Amino acid sequence: MRVFGPMTLFAYVLGVVATDTPSPDIVEFWQVPSKVDGRWKCVESRPICGPDDDVDTLHRNADTGEWECCPKGHTLKDSRCVSPVPDPDPSWRCSDRKKFELAERFHGSLSECCHDKAYAFEDLTHYFTSLLGLVDLFCKDKCGEPTPKPDEEWWRCPKDKSPCKSHSLEVNKGEKSLWATGAGSANVPNPNIAVAGYKYPFDTWLALTSGQNFELFIKGEKVKPAKGSNYMIPAGTLASDVTYKASESAKIQFYAACSKHTPCIGDQVKDWTLDARTTTQAREVEFDVSSYEGDLIFTVADVSWATEQYDVFADGVKVGRTHGRLSLGEDMWDTANINPKSSWAANGAGALGCIANDGFWGSFRIPQGTKKVTVRLIHEQPGWPSYWFMYRIDKPCKC
């Protein structure tokens, strides 16, 4: 470890009167003073850390008061160099993030002889104090876990991994009744209206709302319930593969499981509404959302005959595009997957039918402070005078 004490420099000036003495700041920060034209100036900068030292450990020694660096492989604790090196902290610890090169930047500022002007020492002191503050902020030994990024799984809530839910797939969150099966089993009816060959379009929660001794099976394998009486049915599962056993009658509800494209729903702000249509001459419809507080979830569902696809914007910034079933993966945005033979009533029931089946729809996060939401028609089947969609507005689930 190389240490340069300021005492050798002070020895030269002990016999000199105060008015003929270089500022102690020059010596303190390892710069060599010289009197030029009657004024003290920096003429040379000496290194604080040697080639075998770790510049990230720059500190003032708690015992000597001198600036120094620890040898490589040592750690800094309570302004002292410690060896051997302890086991590294977990990756989320701030002490693991020491690659800021603050000491090197500080040394670089010294090499510029920033004291070339008389009485400018306070500049260096100010900058160095700021750097030390950054070191304390980013490289202190212990700190809490980092705050999640604003967009990190914003759709997931609550944080305890309990089965929070997105849109109900039944009108007015309706329940489906199941008969007791006795010693046998029976098929679970698919969400919304009965459809032959139904496939679940996304991960779906089956919530048992009443009944006991209920068991769910997918392809004959028993499904373990999540917290409470909620059973997960994966996207793409055939409804004919989902069966149940129950010693008594039961009631169930279906919900979309939370994901980026099916965010968790909190309080409803505006129910399903049909008050705007698009045409090939007027492709955009605008909605004023300036009166709402906080983030919003804006959901669009194609109703009437399935023919169109929409982009959605928040104050001119695109936030998403309507899509088909999530089980299609990246192909869910491909308009080749629009089924022109399908249609849904232009009401809330039709919107849920669109979501629960093969319609094109989407739920989009609208950031707090947005003034205007724009829905733009980008694909349509020619020949129709107008194109209808339902929309609703909700609050995200509160965590």
- Say if residue 295 is in the same domain as residue 383: yes
Establish if 2 belongs to a structural domain: no
Of the ranges 4-13, 152-161, 165-174, the best mean pLDDT one: 165-174
- Say if residue 20 is in the same domain as residue 122: no
Looking at the predicted structure, is the pLDDT value of residue 290 above 70?
A: yes
Handedness of CA 296, 297, 303, 307 (dihedral sign): positive
Looking at the predicted structure, is the pLDDT value of residue 16 above 60?
A: no
- Say if residue 328 is in the same domain as residue 288: yes
Distance CA 88, CA 367 (A): 39
- Say if residue 293 is in the same domain as residue 368: yes
Domain end, chosen from 231, 256, 281, is at 256
Among residues 320, 397, 389, 370, the alpha carbon closest in space to that of 164 is found at 397
- Say if residue 287 is in the same domain as residue 387: yes
pLDDT at 69: 86
pLDDT at 106: 56
Distance CA 5, CA 28 (A): 9
pLDDT at 108: 58
- Say if residue 288 is in the same domain as residue 214: no
Among residues 35, 73, 26, 31, the alpha carbon closest in space to that of 48 is found at 31
Looking at the predicted structure, is the pLDDT value of residue 366 above 60?
A: yes
Least confident of 119-123, 245-249, 274-278: 119-123
Q: How far apart are the first and last CA of the chain?
A: 51
- Say if residue 221 is in the same domain as residue 274: no
Least confident of 10-24, 45-59, 275-289, 316-330: 10-24
Contact 33, 41 (CB under 8 A): yes
Establish if 152 belongs to a structural domain: no
Looking at the predicted structure, is the pLDDT value of residue 308 above 80?
A: yes
Distance, CA of 199 to chain centre: 31
- Say if residue 66 is in the same domain as residue 93: no
Omega prior to 396 cis, within 30 of 0: no
- By residue count, the chain amounts to 399
Establish if 356 belongs to a structural domain: yes
CATH of the domain at 178: 2.60.120
For the segment 193-220, what is each residue's pLDDT rounded down to a tens digit? 888 999 999 999 999 999 988 999 999 9
Looking at residues 366-381, what average pLDDT do you find? Answer: 94
- Say if residue 389 is in the same domain as residue 274: yes
| Three-state secondary structure call for residue 76 | strand
Q: What is the pTM of this model?
A: 0.60
Establish if 196 belongs to a structural domain: yes
pLDDT at 15: 41
When divided into structural domains, the chain yields a total of 4
Between helix 102-111 and helix 121-139 the angle, nearest 10°, is 170
Establish if 148 belongs to a structural domain: no
Among residues 62, 24, 21, 26, the alpha carbon closest in space to that of 45 is found at 26
| Three-state secondary structure call for residue 171 | helix
Residue ranges making up the domain that contains 363: 267-396
Distances (CA, A) of 259 to 178, 269, 353: 28, 20, 19
- Say if residue 99 is in the same domain as residue 187: no
Binned at pLDDT 50, 70 and 90, residue 173 comes out as confident
pLDDT at 118: 43
Calculate ∠ Cα 284-288-291, nearest 5°: 165
Distance CA 82, CA 183 (A): 70
pLDDT at 129: 59
- Say if residue 226 is in the same domain as residue 329: no
For the segment 19-68, what is each residue's pLDDT rounded down to a tens digit? 466 555 545 554 555 666 767 666 555 567 777 888 888 887 776 677 78
- Say if residue 188 is in the same domain as residue 285: no
Establish if 284 belongs to a structural domain: yes
Domain end, chosen from 256, 282, 299, is at 256
Segments in the chain forming alpha helices (H): 7-12, 24-28, 102-111, 121-139, 348-356
Structure tokens at 50: 């040697």
pLDDT at 262: 92
Establish if 132 belongs to a structural domain: yes
Average pLDDT, the chain: 77
Establish if 226 belongs to a structural domain: yes
pLDDT at 134: 58
